[in-house]
Structures are given as structure tokens and as C-alpha cells.
Amino acid sequence: SDSASLIADGAEFLADRPAILRTIAAPGGEDAQQLRMSANLLRRRAVGDAVHLRGLIEFSNHCRNNCCYCGLRRDNRRLARYRMTPAEIVSAAERGAALGYRTVVLQSGEDPAFTGPMLAEIIREIKRLGLVVTLSVGEREPREYELWRSAGAERYLMRHETADPELYGRLHPGQTLAKRIALLKVLKQLDYQVGTGFMVGLPGQTPETLLADIDLARELAAEMVGIGPFIPHPATPLADSPGGIVDQTCLMVALARLALPYALIPATTALGSIDPQGRELALESGANVMMPNLTPRLHRADYQIYPNKICLNEEADHCRGCITGRILGLGRIVADDPGHHPLWLERN
Ligand code: 5AD
Ligand code: SF4
Ligand code: FES
């Protein structure tokens, strides 16, 4: 079956919006299970059984923003802040290459101390190792995005977090959804593979806004979609809010697969942190990426965007083995190619 028919198949599942909204409202029900199975089948036909691994390097936990859900928010004074040196970042990437990862994700809070040219130099050094570089450093100037693209970065992750503009405004003091979307479009124009995504279970979220999250990912033609449960962090204004649940998060993963059959969709660490089988359940609901941690252990505990994050005491090689075992345990395989989006590869 060709790509047009797979895309049509996915669209068919999403055509009945009232039914989808009812399913989102009843994520433990039979319809939700059905959708997750359909997404798993579509995933298999569209992108196969391979799971792509991306080594995550959390290189700075300084952040100028004050997102109401995040432990790295600037008002959190209870956090020991760190920055890795460029040499430490490159050596973490080397370790990733030695473990067989083809991509490293350079992630940080929004930390202007890492200037555009500094990050460009780090990207160039990591490219020399033969790795694909994914950036996840938040909102920056379009010229910086351009500089980093020229330095060799090929992917950019920046979740839209919620497609409800009012909820976005309440959760992100001083920020707007419109700006976030405009920057995602800039990244698309620079021909990055662009990842967006959102949290599930945010206070004030409804089935309608969750469906809008899927619509937005599709409108942006996102190459990657990261979806994780909201996990309340004690040092934030949302400390006492309930968190997201596994079934609803996996259902949203399934809807993302149906909306974007060729997308790279991670089984997120946040899902693995609220349920020991969370990542496996996502891999069986449409996901095809995992992001093992490569951050030096010294800093792991301080990159606490949410509490009870897994792998705080595990070395990178342990996670490599753990993740491989989980993938093989599902009858899946670990990808050995760089794991680019197929439609982006055709353009490049
Ligand atoms: N719970 C779950 N996910 C969170 N993120 C930030 N804070 C939390 C939290 N408390 C997510 C955001 C961000 C990504 C890096 O981590 O979606 O984009
Ligand atoms: Fe900073 Fe990102 Fe956390 Fe917001 S979610 S406070 S931008 S690290
Ligand atoms: Fe780190 Fe399983 S992925 S221990």
C-alpha cells in the first residue's frame, strides 16, 4: 500500500470527531483500546517494527522561563543549577556513539548563556562523530535556528504543550501560543525535522483541547510528536493538581499515529516514570522511538522537570541494555539506520 492510502486510512479513523471526543473522555474503555490497536497496526504498516533510539544529553538546567508545571522554572530556588562544558557535552555524545546511538538530543532549559555561536561549535564537533544532532533548547532567534541548521543540526524538538491559547497563556507567564507556533513554522521553513507535542492531564485541559493538540501537530506536518503525562512537581504552582494517566496518554499517542502515519513518536520517559510498563504500552499504541538518558550521572537528579523520573542512578550503558531488552521483549527490533523521517529524506 502506498503512502497516500496509509494517510487516508489514518484520516478515516479520525473523521468522526464526536466519537473521538467521547473516546478521549473514556480512555479506559473499549473504543480507546480499539483505537490503540488500530494505531499499532498502522505504525507497523507505515514505519515497520524498528524502534529508533535517541541519546538524551540534558546539558543545562538553567531556564529563563517560568512554566507553571516545570521543576526547572526560574522561580524554583530549591534546585542546584548546572551547565555542562562544551567538552563534557561532546564527550557525552562520544559515549552515545560508542553505545550505538545514531542521534543525540541536546536539551536544556532556555539558557541564553549558551550563545548561538557556542552551540553551533558544539554541533559541528558532534557532527564530526557521525551523529545526527537534534536540538531541544526552546525559543530562540530565527537567525540562531538558521546558524545551527547550517552547523549541521537536522532536527528540532519544541512541544506546543497545549493547543488551547488561553490555557497556554496561564501556564506560561509572559509567553504566547502564537509565538510558539510561529517559531515552529520558522523551523519547518529552515527544513529541520520538527517535533512538537504536548502534555496530557494538565489542569484545565478538556477532550476538545486534546483533539486540538492532534489537529495542530497535523497542521504543522510535524515529523515528530512527543506526548507525555503531566506529572505534578512539588516545587511548582501545580503541586496539588492531579497528574495525567497512562491510558489517556497512550490514547493520544495512538491518535497522533493515526493523524501522522509516518511520524517519529517517542514512548516518553514521563510515561515510564508513572508506570513501569508505560513505555511498552506506548510502543504498542503507535510509538516508535525511545530516548535513553546520556546525561552524566552527576547531573541527572538536577534535571528534574518532574518528580520520580526514572534512571536517575543508572549508567548510560545500563539504560542501553534495559531499553534493548524492552524492545526485543515486545517482538520489536532496534533500528540501525539514522531514523530520519521518510518524507524529509525524500526532500533531502
Ligand atoms: N510533567 C510532565 N512533563 C513535563 N514537562 C515539563 N514539566 C513537566 C511535568 N511536570 C515536559 C514539557 C517539556 C518537556 C521537555 O518536558 O512538555 O516540553
Ligand atoms: Fe524552562 Fe522548558 Fe521547564 Fe518551561 S518546560 S521552565 S522552558 S525547562
Ligand atoms: Fe534506564 Fe531502563 S531505561 S534503567
Check: CB of residue 57 under 8 Å from CB of residue 295.
yes
- Residue with C-alpha cell 539506520? 337
- d(CA 261, ligand 1 centre) in Å: 24
| Longest Cα–Cα distance in the chain | 55
- CATH code of the domain containing 244: 3.20.20.70
Interatomic CA distance for residues 210 and 229, integer angstroms = 12
**Residue 183, Cα to own-chain centre: how many angstroms?**
17
279-314, pLDDT tens digit by residue?
A: 999 999 999 999 999 999 999 999 999 999 999 999
Higher pLDDT, 8 or 208: 208
Domain-embedded: residue 302: yes
Give the residue from 218, 292, 298, 304 showing the smallest Cα distance to 13: 218
Report how far residue 22's alpha carbon sits from residue 141's, in angstroms, rounded to the nearest whole number.
40
Does residue 151 fall inside a structural domain?
yes
**Distances 280 to 62, 221, 269, 275 between C-alpha atoms, Å:** 31, 26, 11, 10
Ligand 2 close to Cβ of residue 305 (< 6 A): yes
Q: Is 29 within 8 Å of 19 (Cβ atoms)? A: no
The residue among 30, 47, 28, 17 whose CA lies nearest residue 260 is 47
The total number of structural domains in the chain stands at 1
d(CA 264, CA 256): 10
Q: Is 83 helix (H, G, I), strand (E, B) or coil?
A: strand
Ligand minimally distant from the alpha carbon of residue 172: 2
Domain presence at residue 26: yes
- β partners of residue 1: none
pLDDT for the residue numbered 136: 99
Indicate if ligand 3 lies below 6 Å from the C-beta of 324. Answer: no
Average pLDDT over residues 96-103: 98
Range of the domain at 201: 3-337
Burial 148-183 (b: 16+ CB within 10 A, else e): bbebbbbbbbbbbbbbbeebbeebbeebebeebbeb
Please work out whether the CB of residue 197 comes within 6 Å of at least one atom of ligand 2.
no
| Residue minimizing CA distance to atom 18 of ligand 1 | 159
Mutation pick for ligand 3 pocket among 322, 324, 327, 328 (CB with most ligand atoms within 8 Å): 322
For residues 139 and 92, is the Cβ–Cβ distance under 8 A? no
* pLDDT of 206 above 80: yes
Q: How many residues does the chain have?
A: 348
- DSSP symbol at 122: H
Residue nearest to atom 7 of ligand 1 (CA): 70
- Site to substitute for ligand 3 among 53, 277, 312, 323, most atoms within 8 A of C-beta: 323
Q: What is the Cα–Cα distance from 103 to 132, expressed in whole angstroms?
A: 4
Residue 332 within any structural domain of the chain: yes
Query: Is the CB–ligand 2 distance for residue 157 below 6 Å?
Result: no
| Residue 348 counted as domain residue | no
Atom of ligand 3 nearest to the CA of 323: 3
Predicted pLDDT of residue 1:
58
Residue 178 has pLDDT above 90, yes or no: yes
Measured in Å, residue 116 CA sits from the centre of ligand 2 at 19
CB 225 within 8 A of CB 265: yes
Ligand 2 centre from 340 Cα, in Å? 26
Residue nearest to atom 1 of ligand 3 (CA): 319
Q: Has residue 312 been placed in a domain?
A: yes
CB atoms within 10 A of CB 6: 16
Read off the pLDDT of each residue in 45-67 and give the average, rounded to a whole number.
98
**How many angstroms separate the CA atoms of 154 and 103, rounded?**
10
> For a pocket test of ligand 1, which of 108, 305, 308 has the largest count of ligand atoms closer than 8 A to its C-beta?
305
128-155 per-position pLDDT tens digit: 999 999 999 999 999 999 999 999 999 9
pLDDT one-digit tens code per residue, 220-265: 999 999 999 999 999 999 999 999 999 999 999 999 999 999 999 9
In a domain, 50, yes or no: yes
